[in-house]
Amino acid sequence: RMDQALLLVRNELPAQGLRLAALSGACHQCLDQFLAFIPPSNGTLRNPGTTAVMVDTQHPLTLLLNSSLGDGELCKIQYHFGEFGNYSLVVKTLSTSTKTVSCELVINEGPINSYLPILFAFLVYMGILAILIVGHLLMKIGPVRSWVYKKLNPRETDRLINSELGSPNTTDSISSDPTPRLWSTASRQRLRSLDTFRGLSLIIMVFVNYGGGKYWFFKHESWNGKLYFPSVLFSRFVFIMGTSISLSLSSMLKWGSSKQKVLWKILWRSFLLILLGIIVVNPNYCLGPLSWDNLRIPGVLQRLGFTYLVVAALELLFTRAGPESATLETPCPALQDILPYWPQWIFILILEVIWLCLTFLLPVPGCPRGYLGPGGIGDFGSYPNCTGGAAGYIDRLLLGEKHMYQHPSSSVIYQTTMPYDPEGILGTINTIFMAFLGLQAGKIILFYKDHHKQIMSRFVIWSIVMGIISAILTKCSKEEGFIPINKNLWSISYVTTMSCFAFILLLLIYYLVDVKRLWSGAPFFYPGMNSILVYIGHEVFENYFPFKWKMQDSQSHAEHLTQNLTATTLWVIISYLLYKRKIFWKI
Protein backbone atom coordinates (compact mmCIF):
# COMPACT_ATOMS: atom_id res chain seq x y z
CA ARG A 1 0.00 0.00 0.00
CA MET A 2 0.99 3.65 -0.18
CA ASP A 3 3.61 4.69 2.37
CA GLN A 4 4.60 1.06 2.88
CA ALA A 5 7.38 -1.31 1.85
CA LEU A 6 7.71 -5.08 2.06
CA LEU A 7 10.38 -6.48 4.37
CA LEU A 8 11.25 -10.19 4.27
CA VAL A 9 13.20 -11.27 7.36
CA ARG A 10 15.37 -14.38 6.92
CA ASN A 11 16.55 -16.02 10.13
CA GLU A 12 19.50 -18.35 9.50
CA LEU A 13 20.22 -18.85 13.20
CA PRO A 14 19.56 -22.52 13.97
CA ALA A 15 18.72 -22.40 17.63
CA GLN A 16 16.78 -19.25 18.32
CA GLY A 17 13.79 -17.38 17.05
CA LEU A 18 13.80 -13.63 16.65
CA ARG A 19 11.53 -10.85 17.82
CA LEU A 20 11.34 -7.95 15.36
CA ALA A 21 10.24 -4.53 16.63
CA ALA A 22 10.32 -1.06 15.11
CA LEU A 23 10.49 2.50 16.33
CA SER A 24 9.47 5.44 14.12
CA GLY A 25 11.85 8.37 13.87
CA ALA A 26 8.83 10.67 14.20
CA CYS A 27 7.79 9.17 17.53
CA HIS A 28 9.40 10.98 20.47
CA GLN A 29 10.33 8.85 23.47
CA CYS A 30 8.16 5.97 22.30
CA LEU A 31 8.00 2.30 23.13
CA ASP A 32 9.15 0.07 20.33
CA GLN A 33 6.32 -1.70 18.51
CA PHE A 34 6.32 -5.44 17.92
CA LEU A 35 6.17 -6.36 14.23
CA ALA A 36 6.69 -10.10 13.93
CA PHE A 37 8.24 -13.28 15.32
CA ILE A 38 10.71 -15.00 13.02
CA PRO A 39 11.10 -18.75 13.64
CA PRO A 40 14.58 -20.31 13.81
CA SER A 41 16.25 -22.08 10.92
CA ASN A 42 15.97 -25.86 10.73
CA GLY A 43 19.73 -26.11 10.58
CA THR A 44 20.31 -25.62 6.86
CA LEU A 45 20.72 -22.47 4.82
CA ARG A 46 18.15 -23.74 2.36
CA ASN A 47 15.36 -23.57 4.93
CA PRO A 48 15.79 -20.40 7.01
CA GLY A 49 12.98 -19.09 9.15
CA THR A 50 11.20 -16.37 7.17
CA THR A 51 8.53 -13.81 7.90
CA ALA A 52 7.21 -10.98 5.72
CA VAL A 53 6.09 -7.69 7.27
CA MET A 54 4.96 -4.30 6.02
CA VAL A 55 7.03 -1.35 7.21
CA ASP A 56 6.27 2.37 7.15
CA THR A 57 8.05 4.57 4.60
CA GLN A 58 6.91 8.00 5.78
CA HIS A 59 9.66 8.39 8.37
CA PRO A 60 12.99 6.71 9.15
CA LEU A 61 12.63 3.50 11.17
CA THR A 62 14.82 1.86 13.76
CA LEU A 63 14.55 -1.94 13.52
CA LEU A 64 15.31 -3.91 16.69
CA LEU A 65 16.03 -7.64 16.61
CA ASN A 66 16.04 -9.56 19.88
CA SER A 67 16.59 -13.24 20.53
CA SER A 68 13.69 -15.27 21.83
CA LEU A 69 16.16 -16.92 24.21
CA GLY A 70 16.60 -13.68 26.13
CA ASP A 71 20.17 -13.00 24.99
CA GLY A 72 19.42 -9.33 24.57
CA GLU A 73 19.53 -7.14 21.48
CA LEU A 74 21.13 -8.78 18.46
CA CYS A 75 20.82 -6.03 15.88
CA LYS A 76 19.77 -2.41 15.64
CA ILE A 77 19.33 -0.97 12.16
CA GLN A 78 18.28 2.57 11.25
CA TYR A 79 16.91 2.91 7.73
CA HIS A 80 14.44 4.97 5.71
CA PHE A 81 12.56 2.54 3.50
CA GLY A 82 11.24 3.59 0.11
CA GLU A 83 7.60 3.37 -0.94
CA PHE A 84 6.63 0.06 -2.62
CA GLY A 85 10.19 -1.19 -2.15
CA ASN A 86 11.02 -4.86 -1.53
CA TYR A 87 13.70 -5.56 1.06
CA SER A 88 15.28 -8.53 2.83
CA LEU A 89 16.84 -8.56 6.26
CA VAL A 90 19.21 -11.52 6.54
CA VAL A 91 20.25 -12.56 10.04
CA LYS A 92 23.09 -15.06 10.24
CA THR A 93 26.14 -16.07 12.26
CA LEU A 94 29.47 -14.87 10.92
CA SER A 95 31.58 -17.11 13.10
CA THR A 96 30.51 -20.20 14.97
CA SER A 97 33.33 -19.77 17.47
CA THR A 98 32.51 -16.23 18.48
CA LYS A 99 28.80 -16.51 17.70
CA THR A 100 28.91 -13.08 16.12
CA VAL A 101 25.55 -12.27 14.57
CA SER A 102 25.32 -10.31 11.32
CA CYS A 103 22.24 -8.40 10.13
CA GLU A 104 22.35 -7.40 6.47
CA LEU A 105 19.68 -5.35 4.73
CA VAL A 106 19.32 -6.19 1.03
CA ILE A 107 17.26 -4.33 -1.59
CA ASN A 108 15.42 -6.92 -3.67
CA GLU A 109 13.39 -4.42 -5.67
CA GLY A 110 14.00 -0.71 -5.58
CA PRO A 111 11.28 1.69 -4.41
CA ILE A 112 9.38 3.89 -6.84
CA ASN A 113 9.86 7.63 -7.03
CA SER A 114 6.49 8.68 -5.65
CA TYR A 115 7.32 12.37 -6.06
CA LEU A 116 7.35 12.33 -9.87
CA PRO A 117 3.58 13.10 -10.05
CA ILE A 118 4.22 16.29 -8.04
CA LEU A 119 6.95 17.34 -10.47
CA PHE A 120 4.71 16.62 -13.45
CA ALA A 121 1.80 18.56 -11.91
CA PHE A 122 4.13 21.48 -11.17
CA LEU A 123 5.31 21.57 -14.78
CA VAL A 124 1.71 21.45 -16.07
CA TYR A 125 0.62 24.37 -13.91
CA MET A 126 3.75 26.32 -14.80
CA GLY A 127 2.94 25.74 -18.48
CA ILE A 128 -0.59 27.04 -17.97
CA LEU A 129 0.81 30.06 -16.13
CA ALA A 130 3.25 30.74 -18.98
CA ILE A 131 0.42 30.63 -21.52
CA LEU A 132 -1.64 33.08 -19.47
CA ILE A 133 1.29 35.45 -19.10
CA VAL A 134 1.99 35.37 -22.83
CA GLY A 135 -1.71 35.98 -23.52
CA HIS A 136 -1.73 38.90 -21.12
CA LEU A 137 1.32 40.43 -22.82
CA LEU A 138 -0.26 39.96 -26.25
CA MET A 139 -3.38 41.77 -25.04
CA LYS A 140 -1.22 44.83 -24.45
CA ILE A 141 -0.56 45.03 -28.19
CA GLY A 142 -3.13 47.38 -29.69
CA PRO A 143 -4.06 45.48 -32.90
CA VAL A 144 -4.30 42.18 -31.05
CA ARG A 145 -6.46 43.68 -28.33
CA SER A 146 -8.76 45.33 -30.87
CA TRP A 147 -9.18 42.09 -32.79
CA VAL A 148 -10.05 40.16 -29.64
CA TYR A 149 -12.57 42.75 -28.47
CA LYS A 150 -14.26 42.79 -31.87
CA LYS A 151 -14.84 39.06 -31.56
CA LEU A 152 -16.49 39.58 -28.22
CA ASN A 153 -19.86 41.07 -27.44
CA PRO A 154 -19.50 44.80 -28.15
CA ARG A 155 -21.54 45.67 -25.07
CA GLU A 156 -19.06 43.80 -22.96
CA THR A 157 -16.01 45.53 -24.42
CA ASP A 158 -15.92 48.52 -22.09
CA ARG A 159 -16.70 46.40 -19.06
CA LEU A 160 -13.89 43.96 -19.85
CA ILE A 161 -11.41 46.75 -20.38
CA ASN A 162 -12.31 48.41 -17.10
CA SER A 163 -12.60 45.28 -14.96
CA GLU A 164 -9.82 43.13 -16.36
CA LEU A 165 -7.99 41.80 -13.31
CA GLY A 166 -9.53 44.63 -11.32
CA SER A 167 -11.57 44.95 -8.14
CA PRO A 168 -15.35 45.08 -7.89
CA ASN A 169 -16.85 48.53 -7.93
CA THR A 170 -17.90 50.29 -4.75
CA THR A 171 -21.46 49.00 -4.73
CA ASP A 172 -20.40 45.41 -5.28
CA SER A 173 -17.71 45.59 -2.64
CA ILE A 174 -20.10 46.88 0.00
CA SER A 175 -22.57 44.12 -0.73
CA SER A 176 -19.99 41.38 -0.99
CA ASP A 177 -17.49 41.73 1.77
CA PRO A 178 -17.06 43.89 4.85
CA THR A 179 -13.37 44.56 4.13
CA PRO A 180 -13.09 48.35 3.71
CA ARG A 181 -11.69 50.57 1.01
CA LEU A 182 -8.65 52.23 2.53
CA TRP A 183 -6.77 54.56 0.31
CA SER A 184 -9.11 57.53 0.00
CA THR A 185 -12.69 58.66 0.21
CA ALA A 186 -12.81 59.05 -3.53
CA SER A 187 -11.42 55.69 -4.58
CA ARG A 188 -12.72 53.53 -1.73
CA GLN A 189 -10.69 50.66 -3.20
CA ARG A 190 -10.17 47.23 -1.68
CA LEU A 191 -6.79 45.98 -0.60
CA ARG A 192 -6.31 43.13 -3.04
CA SER A 193 -3.45 41.71 -1.01
CA LEU A 194 -5.80 40.73 1.82
CA ASP A 195 -8.12 38.79 -0.49
CA THR A 196 -5.07 37.24 -2.19
CA PHE A 197 -3.62 36.19 1.18
CA ARG A 198 -6.97 34.72 2.22
CA GLY A 199 -7.47 32.95 -1.11
CA LEU A 200 -3.96 31.48 -1.13
CA SER A 201 -4.46 29.99 2.33
CA LEU A 202 -7.95 28.77 1.42
CA ILE A 203 -7.01 27.03 -1.83
CA ILE A 204 -4.11 25.17 -0.25
CA MET A 205 -6.46 24.22 2.60
CA VAL A 206 -8.98 22.85 0.09
CA PHE A 207 -6.26 20.81 -1.64
CA VAL A 208 -5.04 19.41 1.67
CA ASN A 209 -8.56 18.61 2.88
CA TYR A 210 -9.24 16.71 -0.34
CA GLY A 211 -6.24 14.50 0.40
CA GLY A 212 -3.17 16.27 -0.93
CA GLY A 213 -2.41 13.35 -3.24
CA LYS A 214 -2.15 11.14 -0.13
CA TYR A 215 1.38 12.40 0.51
CA TRP A 216 2.44 12.28 4.14
CA PHE A 217 3.69 15.89 4.21
CA PHE A 218 0.19 17.09 3.29
CA LYS A 219 -1.17 15.50 6.46
CA HIS A 220 -1.25 16.88 9.98
CA GLU A 221 1.83 16.09 12.03
CA SER A 222 1.31 13.69 14.91
CA TRP A 223 2.25 16.07 17.71
CA ASN A 224 5.14 18.47 18.32
CA GLY A 225 7.59 20.03 15.97
CA LYS A 226 7.58 19.82 12.21
CA LEU A 227 5.17 22.18 10.51
CA TYR A 228 3.62 20.44 7.54
CA PHE A 229 1.31 22.24 5.11
CA PRO A 230 -1.94 21.71 7.10
CA SER A 231 -0.39 23.25 10.21
CA VAL A 232 0.14 26.68 8.69
CA LEU A 233 -3.11 27.05 6.73
CA PHE A 234 -5.75 27.45 9.43
CA SER A 235 -3.54 29.85 11.37
CA ARG A 236 -3.11 32.06 8.28
CA PHE A 237 -6.86 32.10 7.81
CA VAL A 238 -7.31 33.20 11.43
CA PHE A 239 -4.60 35.84 11.03
CA ILE A 240 -6.11 37.45 7.93
CA MET A 241 -9.55 37.33 9.55
CA GLY A 242 -8.15 39.53 12.32
CA THR A 243 -6.67 41.93 9.76
CA SER A 244 -10.01 42.19 7.97
CA ILE A 245 -11.81 42.87 11.27
CA SER A 246 -9.69 45.95 11.92
CA LEU A 247 -10.24 47.37 8.45
CA SER A 248 -13.92 46.50 8.13
CA LEU A 249 -14.97 47.89 11.52
CA SER A 250 -13.05 51.09 10.89
CA SER A 251 -14.75 51.45 7.51
CA MET A 252 -18.26 50.75 8.80
CA LEU A 253 -17.95 53.24 11.64
CA LYS A 254 -16.38 55.81 9.35
CA TRP A 255 -19.33 55.61 6.98
CA GLY A 256 -21.89 56.20 9.68
CA SER A 257 -22.89 52.81 11.10
CA SER A 258 -23.69 52.90 14.81
CA LYS A 259 -21.83 50.63 17.20
CA GLN A 260 -25.10 48.93 18.15
CA LYS A 261 -25.78 48.06 14.51
CA VAL A 262 -22.23 46.80 14.01
CA LEU A 263 -22.45 44.72 17.20
CA TRP A 264 -25.63 43.08 15.93
CA LYS A 265 -23.86 42.20 12.68
CA ILE A 266 -20.97 40.69 14.66
CA LEU A 267 -23.33 38.57 16.77
CA TRP A 268 -25.31 37.39 13.75
CA ARG A 269 -22.23 36.51 11.71
CA SER A 270 -20.70 34.59 14.62
CA PHE A 271 -23.92 32.66 15.14
CA LEU A 272 -24.10 31.72 11.44
CA LEU A 273 -20.47 30.60 11.35
CA ILE A 274 -20.93 28.36 14.39
CA LEU A 275 -24.20 26.94 13.04
CA LEU A 276 -22.72 26.23 9.61
CA GLY A 277 -19.69 24.67 11.25
CA ILE A 278 -21.78 22.22 13.27
CA ILE A 279 -23.66 21.20 10.11
CA VAL A 280 -20.48 20.80 8.05
CA VAL A 281 -18.56 18.65 10.55
CA ASN A 282 -21.57 16.35 11.08
CA PRO A 283 -22.29 15.17 7.51
CA ASN A 284 -24.75 12.46 8.53
CA TYR A 285 -27.52 15.05 8.64
CA CYS A 286 -28.42 13.91 5.11
CA LEU A 287 -29.42 10.53 6.54
CA GLY A 288 -31.91 11.99 8.97
CA PRO A 289 -32.18 14.38 11.91
CA LEU A 290 -28.95 15.15 13.72
CA SER A 291 -28.45 12.95 16.75
CA TRP A 292 -27.13 14.67 19.84
CA ASP A 293 -25.57 11.41 21.03
CA ASN A 294 -22.58 11.63 18.65
CA LEU A 295 -22.72 15.23 17.47
CA ARG A 296 -19.26 16.77 17.20
CA ILE A 297 -19.40 20.25 18.70
CA PRO A 298 -15.96 21.82 17.96
CA GLY A 299 -14.75 22.48 14.44
CA VAL A 300 -12.96 24.93 12.17
CA LEU A 301 -15.91 27.22 11.46
CA GLN A 302 -17.06 27.02 15.07
CA ARG A 303 -13.67 28.23 16.25
CA LEU A 304 -13.59 30.93 13.58
CA GLY A 305 -17.04 32.09 14.64
CA PHE A 306 -16.21 32.34 18.32
CA THR A 307 -12.83 33.93 17.63
CA TYR A 308 -14.47 36.47 15.35
CA LEU A 309 -17.02 37.29 18.05
CA VAL A 310 -14.41 37.96 20.72
CA VAL A 311 -11.88 39.87 18.59
CA ALA A 312 -14.47 41.92 16.69
CA ALA A 313 -16.31 42.85 19.89
CA LEU A 314 -13.02 43.76 21.54
CA GLU A 315 -12.08 45.98 18.60
CA LEU A 316 -15.53 47.55 18.43
CA LEU A 317 -15.37 48.45 22.10
CA PHE A 318 -12.20 50.52 21.72
CA THR A 319 -12.12 51.62 18.08
CA ARG A 320 -12.93 55.19 17.10
CA ALA A 321 -14.78 56.34 14.03
CA GLY A 322 -13.33 58.85 11.62
CA PRO A 323 -9.91 59.51 10.12
CA GLU A 324 -8.55 60.99 13.33
CA SER A 325 -8.25 57.50 14.79
CA ALA A 326 -5.26 56.89 12.55
CA THR A 327 -3.33 59.96 13.68
CA LEU A 328 -3.52 59.75 17.45
CA GLU A 329 -0.53 61.32 19.17
CA THR A 330 1.24 59.10 21.67
CA PRO A 331 4.24 59.64 23.97
CA CYS A 332 6.14 57.05 21.93
CA PRO A 333 5.62 57.40 18.15
CA ALA A 334 7.13 53.96 17.55
CA LEU A 335 4.23 52.45 19.49
CA GLN A 336 1.43 54.63 18.14
CA ASP A 337 -0.41 51.60 16.77
CA ILE A 338 -0.26 49.86 20.18
CA LEU A 339 -0.49 52.33 23.07
CA PRO A 340 -3.95 53.76 22.24
CA TYR A 341 -5.31 50.23 22.57
CA TRP A 342 -3.58 49.20 25.79
CA PRO A 343 -6.87 47.87 27.30
CA GLN A 344 -7.09 45.36 24.45
CA TRP A 345 -3.57 44.16 25.15
CA ILE A 346 -4.36 43.77 28.85
CA PHE A 347 -7.40 41.67 27.93
CA ILE A 348 -5.29 39.45 25.63
CA LEU A 349 -2.58 39.08 28.28
CA ILE A 350 -5.23 38.03 30.81
CA LEU A 351 -6.44 35.38 28.37
CA GLU A 352 -2.89 34.10 27.95
CA VAL A 353 -2.39 33.96 31.71
CA ILE A 354 -5.60 31.90 31.92
CA TRP A 355 -4.27 29.56 29.22
CA LEU A 356 -0.95 29.15 31.04
CA CYS A 357 -2.60 28.51 34.40
CA LEU A 358 -5.06 25.95 33.03
CA THR A 359 -2.39 24.23 30.94
CA PHE A 360 0.30 23.96 33.60
CA LEU A 361 -1.58 24.11 36.92
CA LEU A 362 -4.89 22.31 36.37
CA PRO A 363 -4.85 18.85 38.00
CA VAL A 364 -5.67 16.15 35.44
CA PRO A 365 -6.55 12.72 36.88
CA GLY A 366 -3.87 10.15 36.12
CA CYS A 367 -1.57 12.67 34.41
CA PRO A 368 1.35 14.79 35.58
CA ARG A 369 0.57 18.45 36.05
CA GLY A 370 1.48 20.54 33.02
CA TYR A 371 1.60 17.55 30.67
CA LEU A 372 1.77 18.58 26.99
CA GLY A 373 2.41 15.17 25.43
CA PRO A 374 0.37 12.96 23.12
CA GLY A 375 -0.14 10.05 25.51
CA GLY A 376 -0.38 6.63 23.90
CA ILE A 377 3.03 5.02 23.48
CA GLY A 378 4.74 8.41 23.86
CA ASP A 379 6.79 9.17 26.97
CA PHE A 380 7.59 5.42 27.00
CA GLY A 381 3.95 4.57 27.59
CA SER A 382 3.79 6.20 31.02
CA TYR A 383 0.65 8.25 30.36
CA PRO A 384 -1.39 6.44 27.69
CA ASN A 385 -4.70 8.22 28.51
CA CYS A 386 -3.31 11.76 28.86
CA THR A 387 -3.55 12.95 25.27
CA GLY A 388 -3.36 16.73 25.24
CA GLY A 389 -3.09 17.07 29.01
CA ALA A 390 -5.37 19.80 30.36
CA ALA A 391 -6.73 20.68 26.89
CA GLY A 392 -8.03 17.17 26.31
CA TYR A 393 -9.31 16.85 29.87
CA ILE A 394 -11.32 20.10 29.67
CA ASP A 395 -12.97 19.00 26.41
CA ARG A 396 -13.84 15.56 27.76
CA LEU A 397 -15.20 17.11 30.95
CA LEU A 398 -17.30 19.87 29.37
CA LEU A 399 -18.22 18.40 25.99
CA GLY A 400 -18.10 14.67 26.56
CA GLU A 401 -15.97 12.17 24.65
CA LYS A 402 -18.66 11.45 22.05
CA HIS A 403 -18.88 15.12 21.06
CA MET A 404 -15.19 15.41 20.17
CA TYR A 405 -13.05 14.42 17.20
CA GLN A 406 -12.56 10.66 17.42
CA HIS A 407 -9.51 10.21 15.15
CA PRO A 408 -6.78 12.70 16.13
CA SER A 409 -3.52 12.75 14.18
CA SER A 410 -1.68 11.42 17.23
CA SER A 411 -3.47 8.08 16.88
CA VAL A 412 -1.35 7.04 13.88
CA ILE A 413 2.19 7.18 15.24
CA TYR A 414 1.56 7.45 18.98
CA GLN A 415 -1.32 4.93 18.85
CA THR A 416 -3.49 6.98 21.17
CA THR A 417 -6.95 5.69 22.01
CA MET A 418 -8.45 8.77 23.67
CA PRO A 419 -10.55 11.19 21.56
CA TYR A 420 -8.93 14.58 21.18
CA ASP A 421 -10.23 17.62 19.33
CA PRO A 422 -7.66 19.99 17.76
CA GLU A 423 -10.38 22.67 17.68
CA GLY A 424 -11.19 22.25 21.37
CA ILE A 425 -12.02 24.80 24.06
CA LEU A 426 -8.63 25.64 25.57
CA GLY A 427 -6.88 26.13 22.23
CA THR A 428 -9.48 28.73 21.28
CA ILE A 429 -7.78 31.17 23.66
CA ASN A 430 -4.62 31.14 21.55
CA THR A 431 -6.67 31.28 18.35
CA ILE A 432 -8.04 34.57 19.68
CA PHE A 433 -4.44 35.68 20.25
CA MET A 434 -3.58 34.76 16.65
CA ALA A 435 -6.53 36.75 15.29
CA PHE A 436 -5.54 39.66 17.53
CA LEU A 437 -2.07 39.70 15.97
CA GLY A 438 -3.79 39.83 12.58
CA LEU A 439 -5.86 42.70 13.97
CA GLN A 440 -2.58 44.42 14.76
CA ALA A 441 -1.56 44.10 11.10
CA GLY A 442 -4.79 45.85 10.16
CA LYS A 443 -4.07 48.65 12.62
CA ILE A 444 -0.65 49.12 11.03
CA ILE A 445 -2.29 49.54 7.62
CA LEU A 446 -4.72 52.09 9.06
CA PHE A 447 -2.15 54.08 11.04
CA TYR A 448 0.37 54.28 8.20
CA LYS A 449 -2.16 54.59 5.38
CA ASP A 450 -0.45 55.21 2.00
CA HIS A 451 3.00 55.09 3.65
CA HIS A 452 4.13 51.78 2.22
CA LYS A 453 7.65 51.77 3.66
CA GLN A 454 6.37 52.31 7.19
CA ILE A 455 3.77 49.57 6.80
CA MET A 456 6.30 47.07 5.47
CA SER A 457 8.91 47.97 8.08
CA ARG A 458 6.35 47.45 10.86
CA PHE A 459 5.49 44.05 9.41
CA VAL A 460 9.19 43.14 9.48
CA ILE A 461 9.56 44.33 13.09
CA TRP A 462 6.53 42.34 14.23
CA SER A 463 7.79 39.27 12.43
CA ILE A 464 11.18 39.55 14.13
CA VAL A 465 9.61 40.05 17.56
CA MET A 466 7.35 37.02 17.12
CA GLY A 467 10.30 34.97 15.88
CA ILE A 468 12.41 35.89 18.93
CA ILE A 469 9.57 34.95 21.30
CA SER A 470 9.22 31.60 19.49
CA ALA A 471 12.94 30.94 19.76
CA ILE A 472 12.83 31.60 23.52
CA LEU A 473 9.74 29.45 24.14
CA THR A 474 11.01 26.50 22.08
CA LYS A 475 14.75 26.89 22.74
CA CYS A 476 14.99 26.37 18.97
CA SER A 477 14.21 22.71 19.60
CA LYS A 478 11.46 20.41 18.45
CA GLU A 479 10.83 18.72 21.79
CA GLU A 480 13.01 20.28 24.48
CA GLY A 481 11.64 23.82 24.72
CA PHE A 482 9.55 25.36 27.48
CA ILE A 483 6.47 25.22 25.24
CA PRO A 484 6.98 23.22 22.02
CA ILE A 485 5.32 24.21 18.75
CA ASN A 486 2.12 22.19 18.63
CA LYS A 487 -0.80 22.75 16.27
CA ASN A 488 -3.05 20.25 18.07
CA LEU A 489 -2.72 22.25 21.29
CA TRP A 490 -2.48 25.63 19.57
CA SER A 491 0.39 26.38 21.94
CA ILE A 492 1.66 29.95 22.40
CA SER A 493 4.86 29.06 20.55
CA TYR A 494 2.77 27.79 17.64
CA VAL A 495 0.90 31.11 17.49
CA THR A 496 4.04 33.25 17.65
CA THR A 497 5.78 31.10 15.01
CA MET A 498 2.81 31.17 12.65
CA SER A 499 2.32 34.91 13.12
CA CYS A 500 6.03 35.43 12.35
CA PHE A 501 5.53 33.72 8.99
CA ALA A 502 2.15 35.40 8.43
CA PHE A 503 3.59 38.91 8.79
CA ILE A 504 6.31 38.08 6.26
CA LEU A 505 3.87 36.51 3.80
CA LEU A 506 1.48 39.45 4.09
CA LEU A 507 4.43 41.78 3.55
CA LEU A 508 5.43 40.00 0.33
CA ILE A 509 1.90 39.87 -1.07
CA TYR A 510 1.22 43.48 -0.06
CA TYR A 511 4.42 44.60 -1.81
CA LEU A 512 3.75 42.66 -5.02
CA VAL A 513 -0.01 43.29 -5.28
CA ASP A 514 -0.77 46.69 -3.73
CA VAL A 515 2.54 48.56 -3.76
CA LYS A 516 4.30 47.63 -6.99
CA ARG A 517 1.24 46.08 -8.68
CA LEU A 518 3.45 43.42 -10.23
CA TRP A 519 0.82 40.78 -9.54
CA SER A 520 -2.94 41.05 -9.68
CA GLY A 521 -3.37 38.36 -7.03
CA ALA A 522 -4.93 35.97 -9.57
CA PRO A 523 -5.97 33.23 -9.29
CA PHE A 524 -6.03 33.28 -5.47
CA PHE A 525 -7.79 36.64 -5.33
CA TYR A 526 -11.05 35.14 -6.62
CA PRO A 527 -11.59 32.44 -3.94
CA GLY A 528 -10.45 35.01 -1.41
CA MET A 529 -13.48 37.09 -2.39
CA ASN A 530 -15.83 34.15 -1.78
CA SER A 531 -14.03 32.35 1.01
CA ILE A 532 -17.04 31.13 2.98
CA LEU A 533 -18.76 29.77 -0.12
CA VAL A 534 -15.63 27.93 -1.28
CA TYR A 535 -14.89 26.46 2.14
CA ILE A 536 -18.41 25.24 2.82
CA GLY A 537 -18.89 24.12 -0.78
CA HIS A 538 -15.75 22.01 -0.86
CA GLU A 539 -16.81 20.30 2.38
CA VAL A 540 -20.40 19.63 1.29
CA PHE A 541 -19.61 18.41 -2.25
CA GLU A 542 -16.41 16.59 -1.33
CA ASN A 543 -17.70 13.13 -2.31
CA TYR A 544 -19.63 14.15 -5.43
CA PHE A 545 -18.60 14.18 -9.07
CA PRO A 546 -16.71 16.07 -10.55
CA PHE A 547 -14.80 16.64 -7.32
CA LYS A 548 -14.40 12.91 -6.76
CA TRP A 549 -14.70 9.77 -8.88
CA LYS A 550 -13.90 6.08 -8.70
CA MET A 551 -10.20 5.52 -9.29
CA GLN A 552 -8.60 2.65 -11.15
CA ASP A 553 -5.82 2.31 -8.57
CA SER A 554 -6.56 3.61 -5.09
CA GLN A 555 -2.90 3.05 -4.12
CA SER A 556 -1.56 5.46 -6.73
CA HIS A 557 -0.32 8.87 -5.69
CA ALA A 558 -0.67 10.02 -9.29
CA GLU A 559 -4.41 9.27 -9.39
CA HIS A 560 -5.07 10.82 -6.00
CA LEU A 561 -3.04 13.91 -6.92
CA THR A 562 -4.91 14.26 -10.23
CA GLN A 563 -8.26 14.01 -8.49
CA ASN A 564 -7.35 16.43 -5.70
CA LEU A 565 -5.80 19.02 -8.01
CA THR A 566 -8.79 18.80 -10.35
CA ALA A 567 -11.21 19.37 -7.50
CA THR A 568 -9.18 22.30 -6.18
CA THR A 569 -8.86 23.86 -9.63
CA LEU A 570 -12.61 23.56 -10.12
CA TRP A 571 -13.22 25.66 -7.02
CA VAL A 572 -10.83 28.31 -8.34
CA ILE A 573 -12.75 28.36 -11.63
CA ILE A 574 -16.09 28.51 -9.80
CA SER A 575 -14.90 31.44 -7.69
CA TYR A 576 -13.64 33.22 -10.83
CA LEU A 577 -17.00 32.79 -12.58
CA LEU A 578 -18.82 34.05 -9.50
CA TYR A 579 -16.51 37.05 -9.36
CA LYS A 580 -17.18 37.90 -13.01
CA ARG A 581 -20.92 37.66 -12.39
CA LYS A 582 -20.52 39.78 -9.24
CA ILE A 583 -21.92 37.05 -7.01
CA PHE A 584 -20.46 37.17 -3.52
CA TRP A 585 -21.77 35.25 -0.53
CA LYS A 586 -21.23 36.85 2.82
CA ILE A 587 -22.66 36.09 6.22
Q: Which amino acids are annotated catalytic?
A: 220
d(CA 299, CA 404): 9
- Please answer whether residues 249 and 277 qualify as being in contact, where contact means their C-beta atoms are separated by less than 8 angstroms: no
- Please answer whether residues 314 and 442 qualify as being in contact, where contact means their C-beta atoms are separated by less than 8 angstroms: no
**Among the listed residues 443, 153, 137, 449, the one whose alpha carbon sits nearest the alpha carbon of residue 311:** 443
Cα–chain center distance at 99: 52
Residues 6+ apart with CB under 8 A from 402: 293, 294, 419
Adjacency order of strands within the sheet including 49-56: 49-56, 4-11, 86-95, 100-109
d(CA 585, CA 252): 18
Residue 56 Ramachandran class (φ > 0 left, ψ -120 to 50 alpha, else beta): beta
d(CA 481, CA 486): 11
d(CA 527, CA 576): 7
For helices 259-280 and 229-254, angle between their N-to-C axes, nearest 10 degrees: 150
Give backbone dihedrals phi and psi of 63, rounded to 5 degrees, phi first.
-95, 130
Bridge partners of residue 102, in order along the sequence? 92
- Summarize the chain as % helix, strand, coil (round to 5): 50, 10, 35
d(CA 500, CA 335): 19
Give backbone dihedrals phi and psi of 409, rounded to 5 degrees, phi first.
-65, -20
- Please answer whether residues 56 and 11 qualify as being in contact, where contact means their C-beta atoms are separated by less than 8 angstroms: no
